[in-house]
């Protein structure tokens, strides 16, 4: 096993384990903090794929921005920090059906990923992908880039509208 | 790595922008409408009027695009007669919804600011325009997200009403899961083929270069995303709750425009990708979806006691009829879908408009409160009966013509889909029961004497409903031009 595989499995374990904590933890604060490790682990994966720009963006936006907002949101919402997440009674049938579905999805995805040849992009020898990303965004993906900014504007207006008192 | 000729690219982009004019007009409308509310503080509807004007201007710009067939922004979007047909349909429904909103008491209560409401409608129309033409998976995803984000906010616009906020939150949860599934499917498709462009992807698939498993799994996931937008069973669970909680105008918008755009995107995806798949005959999957959607939509609608919930299940059932047209998936099938959606738009908008005007008077959408209401509003009641007959598919209304073309397309495609048409016809019969239930409550229950006090409606609101009634009646008798338009649009789509 090469160094690359070791690093990959390290990140994979971090991502999966902390994601499980996010889902299974009954305390919102714990869930919010373990999301930190999930997002960090994914940034590590991006870095391994030589996608340095995405990795940095992942850390700056998700870890630095969104996660901090989530934690603030949890802390500023009154009395929620100590409260357990309430769930309704889960019947045996739900466990069995949910478990079955999860196993089926996981199995078919595992089969999917191991049994097929995937197209992989040529390894980029240059040091950074920022040039390529910038060029593509303003040429081939110009429309997607512009529409993305309109989408964010709509999200901003919508958020302001929902948050406004009246 | 990037070997664009800069001059060629600039020329292509400026050509693209000239073909993109209607969408640009919508964007300008969206932004100007936002500011109108700040500039004109006294009048409530300034931004509403702006959006109406903007939509009309967009319509005029669309008229200049007849017959244009182009691929713009480095094959991100296709501008073709197929998309044009759907753009006109979406534009008309947006305009009608804007006009309806002027008369809604629920929206115009107190001194609520309506600027964001109208500008978000323009923004949503922009998203739907993109979906009709998207030929790149990134554009499909962005367009669907844009439609979803605006509809989340619009569904919860009357946020002092608890069920509206509840509807909005439910919509966010369902919506984000389904678009998550869709984008996951797209990533699998990209991983297996190396391209996001539907045209290239179609070439790779028909050349057998995409493996079977990723193709099937990814297509199923993408169908789930589209199925959510068109509220096909089993992706329909959000529909009744959101339609019931949202303002009536927005329920109408979701039932007509959003569904039409979803179908436009779905048809393009299915026609380019699914029909080329050598591994699985997707027609069977679509047929199963159609049967489930029709049957569950119609059978659940029978038990509903709330007019908006009933219309939600009716909208699900109608999605099932349209899916039957998709099973055929040739020129006849797609043009029958276009005719059906065209007819469906007017009758649904009309029914929702009457439900809204009734709710203005009695403050409820409960069918029990509709007792004897037909005598209190004779004119609107008569219009409502026309819409309901049309929704049930009775001749000589527009709804009958739509259903006729769908069933004909199924029978013409050979005997293999005759069973599907039979199920569809049986479902239409079932649907008549619950549409008749509304009429029964309106006319046969409650006081039926002439001394009943009549509701007074503003003549403008009655005029609006009357204008919606015109196409429902007219296209039931004289539908030649619509059929011809749909056929021409499809013929150019296939070549």
Number of other CB atoms surrounding residue B335 within 10 Å: 26
Tell me, yes or no, if A107 comes closer than 8 A to chain B by beta carbon: no
Gap between the Cα atoms of B131 and B146, Å rounded: 10
**Is there a domain that residue B33 lies in?**
no
Residue numbers in A near B194 (CB within 8 A): 119, 121
Cβ atoms B376, B442 nearer than 8 A: no
Of B4, B143, B213, the CB nearest to A116: B213
> B388 and B394 in contact (C-beta within 8 Å)?
no
In this complex, the residue of A112, A119, A148 whose CB is nearest that of residue B213 is A112
CB contact under 8 A, A116 and B214: yes
Q: Which of B345, B370, B340 is nearest to B358 (CA)?
A: B370
Residue B143: the pLDDT is 96
Query: B441: how many CB neighbours lie within 10 A of its CB?
Result: 21
The verdict on residue B286 lying in a domain is yes
Mean pLDDT of B399-413: 93
pLDDT score, position B485: 93
**Bond prior to A76 in cis (omega within 30° of 0):** no
Distance from CA of A10 to the nearest CA of B (A): 23
For residue range B96-119, list pLDDT tens digits in order. 999 999 999 888 887 788 889 999
Query: Per the structure block, which two tokens stand in for A53?
Result: 């720009």
Task: For chain B, give the mean pLDDT.
Answer: 91
pLDDT in tens, B211-246: 888 889 999 999 999 999 999 989 999 999 999 999
All residue ranges of chain A with pLDDT < 50 are none
Residues of B in contact with A117 (CB under 8 A): 211
Tens digits of residue pLDDT in B274-308: 988 888 889 999 999 999 999 999 999 999 999 99
Show the domain range for B316. 281-495
DSSP letter string, B331-373 = HHHHHHHHHHHHHHHHHHHHHHHHHHHHHHHHS--BGGGGTTH
Structural domain includes residue B84: no
Query: What pLDDT score does A19 carry?
Result: 94
**pLDDT-based confidence at residue B1 (cuts at 50, 70, 90):** very low
Kindly tell me the burial class for residue A144, based on how many C-beta atoms sit within 10 Å of its own C-beta (0-12, 13-18, 19 or more): buried
Q: What sections of B110-258 are H helices per DSSP?
A: 115-133, 137-155, 162-193, 198-206, 212-229, 238-245, 248-253
Q: Is residue B115 part of a domain?
A: no
Partners of B306 in the β-ladder: B366
**Record: contact B150-A154, CB cut-off 8 A:** yes
Q: Is A105 left (phi over 0), alpha (psi -120 to 50) or beta?
A: alpha
Name the burial class of residue B258, with classes exposed (0-12), middle (13-18) and buried (19+) by CB atoms within 10 angstroms of its CB.
buried
Q: Residue B304 falls within a domain, yes or no?
A: yes
CA–CA separation, B350 and B464 (whole Å): 9
ipTM reported for the complex surpasses 0.95: no
CA distance B142 to A155: 12
Confidence band (pLDDT; 50, 70, 90) for B493? Answer: confident
* Confidence bin at B448 (pLDDT 50/70/90): low
Q: How distant is the Cα of B361 from the closest Cα of chain A, in angstroms?
A: 25
Percentage with pLDDT > 90 across chain B = 72
Are B253 and B120 spatial neighbours (Cβ–Cβ below 8 Å)?
no
* pLDDT value, residue A86: 62
Q: Chain B residues with CB inside 8 Å of A137's CB? A: none
Tokens for A15, please give them: 């991502």
**Cα–Cα distance measured from residue B22 to residue B61, given in angstroms and rounded to the nearest whole number:** 5
Nearest chain B residue to A125 by CA: give it: B1
Number of domains in chain B: 1
Helix-then-strand count for chain B, H and E: 21, 2
pLDDT surpasses 90 at B446 = no
Which of A141, A143, A151 has the CB atom closest to B77's CB atom? Answer: A143
Q: Does A150 touch chain B (CB under 8 A)?
A: yes
How many Å separate Cα B120 from the centre of its chain? 16
Residues forming a β-bridge with B197: B136
As given in the structure block, the two tokens for residue B74 are 């480095």
Cis peptide before A33 (omega within 30 of 0): no
Residues of A in contact with B28 (CB under 8 A): none
Q: pTM for this structure?
A: 0.94
Judged by CB atoms within 8 Å, which residues 34-93 of A form the interface with B? Answer: none
Q: Is residue B267 included in any domain, yes or no? A: no
pLDDT digits (tens, 9 = 90+) for B355-372: 999 999 988 889 988 988
Residue B465's CB: how many other CB atoms inside 10 A?
Answer: 24
Does residue B360 lie within any of the structural domains?
yes
- B47-57: average pLDDT: 95
pLDDT in tens, B108-156: 887 788 889 999 999 999 999 999 999 999 999 999 999 999 999 999 9
Residue B176: inside a domain: no
pLDDT tens-digit series, residues B167-181: 999 999 999 999 999
């Amino acid at each position: 096993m090469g160094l690359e595989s070791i690093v990959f499995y390290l990140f994979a374990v971090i991502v999966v384990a902390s994601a499980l904590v996010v889902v299974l933890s009954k305390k919102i604060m714990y869930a919010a903090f373990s999301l930190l490790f999930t997002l960090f682990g994914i940034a590590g994966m991006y870095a391994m794929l030589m996608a340095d720009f995405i990795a940095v963006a992942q850390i700056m936006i998700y870890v630095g921005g969104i996660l901090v907002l989530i934690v603030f949101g949890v802390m500023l919402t009154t009395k929620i920090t100590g409260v357990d997440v309430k769930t309704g009674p889960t019947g045996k049938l739900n466990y069995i059906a949910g478990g079955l579905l999860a196993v089926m999805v996981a199995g078919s995805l595992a089969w999917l990923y191991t049994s097929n040849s995937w197209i992989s992009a040529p390894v980029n020898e240059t040091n950074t992908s920022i040039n390529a990303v910038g060029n593509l965004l303003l040429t081939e993906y110009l429309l997607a880039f512009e529409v993305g900014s309109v989408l964010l504007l709509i999200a901003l207006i919508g958020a302001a509208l929902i948050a406004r008192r009246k | 790595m990037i070997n664009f000729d800069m001059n060629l690219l600039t020329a292509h982009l400026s050509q693209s922008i000239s073909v993109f004019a209607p969408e640009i007009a919508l964007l300008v409308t969206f932004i100007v409408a936002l500011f109108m509310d700040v500039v004109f503080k006294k009048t409530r509807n300034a931004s509403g009027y702006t959006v109406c004007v903007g939509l009309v201007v967009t319509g005029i710009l669309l008229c200049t695009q007849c017959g244009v067939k182009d691929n713009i922004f480095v094959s991100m979007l296709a501008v073709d007669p197929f998309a044009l047909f759907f753009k006109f349909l979406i534009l008309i429904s947006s305009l009608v919804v804007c006009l309806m909103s002027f008369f809604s008491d629920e929206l115009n209560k107190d001194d609520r600011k309506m600027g964001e409401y109208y500008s978000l409608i323009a923004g949503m129309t922009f998203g739907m325009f993109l979906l009709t033409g998207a030929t790149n998976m990134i554009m499909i995803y962005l367009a669907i997200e844009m439609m979803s984000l605006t509809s989340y906010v619009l569904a919860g616009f009357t946020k002092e009403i608890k069920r509206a906020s509840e509807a909005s939150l439910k919509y966010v949860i369902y919506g984000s899961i389904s678009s998550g599934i869709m984008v996951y499917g797209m990533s699998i498709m990209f991983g297996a083929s190396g391209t996001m462009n539907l045209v290239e992807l179609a070439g790779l698939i028909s050349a057998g270069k995409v493996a079977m498993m990723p193709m099937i799994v990814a297509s199923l996931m993408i169908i789930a995303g589209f199925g959510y937008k068109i509220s096909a069973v089993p992706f329909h669970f959000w529909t009744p709750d959101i339609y019931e909680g949202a303002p009536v105008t927005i329920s109408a918008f979701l039932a007509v425009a959003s569904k039409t755009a979803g179908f436009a995107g779905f048809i393009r995806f299915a026609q380019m990708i699914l029909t080329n798949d050598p591994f699985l005959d997707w027609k069977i999957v679509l047929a199963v979806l159609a049967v489930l959607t029709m049957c569950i939509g119609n059978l659940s609608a029978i038990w509903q006691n709330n007019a908006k919930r009933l219309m939600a299940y009716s909208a699900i059932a109608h999605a099932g009829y349209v899916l039957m047209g998709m099973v055929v998936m040739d020129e006849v099938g797609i043009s029958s879908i276009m005719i059906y959606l065209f007819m469906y738009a007017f009758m649904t908008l009309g029914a929702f408009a009457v439900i809204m005007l009734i709710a203005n008077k009695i403050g409820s959408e409960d069918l029990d409160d509709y007792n004897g209401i037909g005598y209190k509003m004779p004119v609107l009641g008569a219009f409502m009966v026309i819409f309901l007959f049309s929704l049930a598919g009775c001749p000589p209304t527009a709804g009958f013509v739509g259903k006729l073309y769908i069933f004909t397309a199924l029978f013409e495609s050979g005997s293999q889909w005759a069973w599907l048409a039979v199920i569809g016809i049986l479902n239409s019969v079932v649907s008549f029961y619950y549409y008749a239930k509304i009429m029964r409550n309106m006319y046969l229950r409650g006081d039926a004497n002439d001394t009943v006090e009549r509701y007074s409606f503003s003549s403008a609101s009655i005029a609006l409903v009357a204008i919606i009634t015109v196409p429902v009646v007219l296209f039931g008798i004289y539908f030649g031009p619509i059929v011809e338009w749909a056929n021409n649009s499809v013929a150019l789509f296939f070549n």
